[in-house]
Amino acid sequence: MDMESLTEKIEKYIRSLLEANSADEIILRRKELANVFGCVPSQINYVLQSRFTPERGFIVESQRGGNGYIRIIRVCLSGVEDRLNHIEEIVDGVMTPQETRRLLKNMEERELLTLRERTMLEVILRFVDEVLVSFFDLPAYRRDEINTELVRRVLKSLAII
């Protein structure tokens, strides 16, 4: 028996609304959405903050108050400059190996990377990490800094092709 969590149901519902709207943008009311799913508005906030992020290809604008709304915009990366700016935005700061894998998987799902590119990058990152430990005995944070910069440079290179 397939049991979806409430978070998954809300995400699927919002994604279906986006698919039905050809403008890649929808406007919702948090309270109305919470009523549809019989949950509190903070549950809607959680879904928006965890499932509709820039690295997943979305921008969420929110206006609180009586006439408040939520605007969800699907990021469209039509040109090289858009792709480069997006990479700068999503590869921000230092990423852990888990965050890096999640980012690469999201990029593959959004068809910004192929499975082959993602796999090659993951193999290279694992190898670099092993070398940094074995030969240079670098702590995890320094390795993460180096690997994040490697990811940023490779993704930028792929973005201009």
The whole domain housing 34 covers 6-74
Q: What is the pLDDT of residues 4-50, one digit of tens each?
A: 899 999 999 999 999 898 778 999 999 999 999 999 989 999 999 99
Residue after which a domain boundary falls, among 31, 59, 74: 74
The CATH number of the domain holding residue 18 is 3.30.56.130
Q: Which run of H or of E encompasses 154?
A: helix 140-159
pLDDT at 2: 56
Average pLDDT over residues 137-145: 97
pLDDT tens for each residue of 100-115:
999 999 999 999 999 9
User: How far is the C-alpha of 130 from the C-alpha of 132, rounded, in Å?
Assistant: 5
Instruction: Show the CA angle centred on residue 120, arms to residues 118 and 124, nearest 5°.
Output: 115
Tell whether the model's pLDDT for residue 122 goes beyond 80: yes
Number of domains in the chain: 2
**Secondary-structure percent of the chain, ordered helix, strand, coil, rounded to 5:** 65, 10, 25
Residue 47 CA to residue 67 CA, distance in Å, equals 21
- Per-residue pLDDT band for 1 (boundaries 50, 70, 90) equals very low
- Looking at the structure, do residues 63 and 112 belong to the same domain, yes or no? no
Residue with tokens 């509709």: 52
Looking at residue 63, its pLDDT comes to: 86
Could you tell me how far CA 122 lies from the centroid of its own chain?
A: 17
